[in-house]
Structure 1
Amino acid sequence: MTILNDHRSTPSEPRLPEETFEEIARIAAREDVYFEFINGKLWEKPVPDGDHAMIIQWLTRICIQARPELWLFPEQGLRIHAYRNGHARPDGVLAPSGAMAGQSEWAATDGVLLIAEVTSFDDDTDRRDRIDKPRAYAETGIPVYLLIDRDSCEVVVHSEPDGTRYETVRRLPFGKPAELPAPVGITLDTEPLKDWVN
């Protein structure tokens, strides 16, 4: 993902209004990228590759089998603003199956139990997925942030958001069971992830 604007506002400078971002995303949307607005920065996110899609399919199946009342919404736009206005398009959003009914392209985070991200093979994945997004999701109060890191072949489970950061971060190599804590309550058999790291 390429950062398009690293303008950091000060109290005397206005931030990019949400409405302006939404209009930019609508007009500039192309088939090969998505746009996100996280911590005051406009990011260009590449469309996922085939292995990335297989990981989301794998996670969806597990969630449906373990918790049929929930659904993993792929690429659902979310308003992630606690202290900063932001818009993210996570790879997966776990919420009650009817949670997105009546929502706009950029839904509220009410009822979201987990956000899942899968690293992409681009220059910005380190900053975006490992630094900016965990902070933004913790500030928003998302209970669990699951990062499937294809670079390090690890599953990273962030939980217990305190409004600034996640207090608990567990790193597990692919192949080890990964427990997604309450309110999710699902254990992942991560062995299949070894096949989708290329």
Structure 2
Amino acid sequence: MAVMAYEPLSQEEVLQQGFLALDTPEGFRAELIEGDVVVTPPPDGDHEDYINLVLKQVVRRSVTDMDFSGNKGLIVPRSAHHPTHRLIPDGTWAPTKHRLFRGADSWMPAEGVEMVAAVTSTRPAGDREAKRRCYAQGGIPLYLLVDRGDGSVTLFSDPSSSDYRDVRTLPFGKPLPLPEPFAFELDTSEFV
């Protein structure tokens, strides 16, 4: 009788398997951010209104035709200190010509994504810090953060392996320039 030897799972593999086996209540989102499992409740109406205001402008004013996905699961490559991140931005944009979302699983690689957006909610520090670092590590060119607590909008750009090198924050009401492939000023007057 042959005895089968099994390799023990690494801590990262156990964490990934446990995360993927979670059964979150309907409407809730579970994310794996810097080694922590974060579960958030469904967004409120104001949260959705901010994303809607951004989405409408991108559709109307962007110089590049963009596809949009709300609440798309993104797999962000591993950093030196944390396992692979699994994040769900409030909004994800990719050039239509790539058809990035067509046929994608519920969790897809972040390659090809041009911009992600978040509106602060129950854990604003996570949106401001941890998620920002994860998106930069994943090489996502732009991270747009609508910060309800601060009454500001921030565009993070020029990602490195640990963070974004360029940060531009303006109060609600001021136009925020979005670079190529969007190439327009985001009007935040309705955010006030």
Answering whether residue 76 of structure 2 is matched by residue 77 of structure 1, we say: no
Taking structure 2 as the reference length, the TM-score comes to: 0.86
1:60 and 1:71 in contact (8 A); partners too: no
Q: Distance in 1 between matches of 2:143 and 2:177?
A: 12
Are residues 1:64 and 2:65 paired?
no
Asked if 1:14 is matched to 2:15, the reply is no
**Distance in 1 of aligned mates of 2:32 and 2:184:** 30
- Which letter does structure 1 place at the counterpart of 2:72? Q
Structure 1 residues not aligned, in runs of 5+: 1-12
Q: Secondary structure at the match of 2:11?
A: coil
Partner of 1:34: 29
- The answer as to whether partners of 1:138 and 1:161 remain within 8 angstroms in 2 is yes
How far has the Cα of 1:181 moved from its partner? 2.1
Residue identity opposite 2:88 in structure 1: R
TM-score (normalised: structure 1): 0.83
* Partner amino acid, structure 2, of 1:57: N
Aligned residues of 2:111 and 2:140 also touching (Cα < 8 A): no
Instruction: Please list the CA deviations of residues 118-153 of structure 1 after superposition, one character each: whole Å capped at 9, or x if unmatched.
Output: 001x2x321x10110010000110001100000010
Q: Give 1:142's match in structure 2, choosing from 131, 140, 143.
A: 140
Which of the two has higher C-alpha Rg?
2
Q: Give the Cα–Cα distance (whole angstroms) in 2 for the partners of residues 89 and 41 of structure 1.
A: 14
Cα contact 1:159–1:181 (8 A) shared by 2: no
Tell me the CA shift for residue 156 of structure 1.
0.7
Cα displacement string for residues 102-129 of structure 1 (whole angstroms, at most 9, x for unaligned residues) = 1100011121001100001x2x321x10
2:57 & 2:78 partners in 1: Cα distance? 30
After TM superposition, which residue ranges in structure 1, 4 or more long, deviate above 6 angstroms?
A: none
Q: Map 1:115-154; keep pairs closer than 5 Å.
A: 115-120=116-121, 122=122, 124-126=123-125, 128-154=126-152
- Return the offset for 1:185: 2.3
Q: Alignment partner of 1:104: what SS?
A: coil
Percent of aligned pairs with the same amino acid: 34
Q: CA deviation at 1:39?
A: 0.8
| Alignment root-mean-square deviation, CA | 1.5
Q: Whole-Å Cα distance in 2 between the matches of residues 186 and 129 of structure 1?
A: 24
Residue type of the partner of 2:34? N
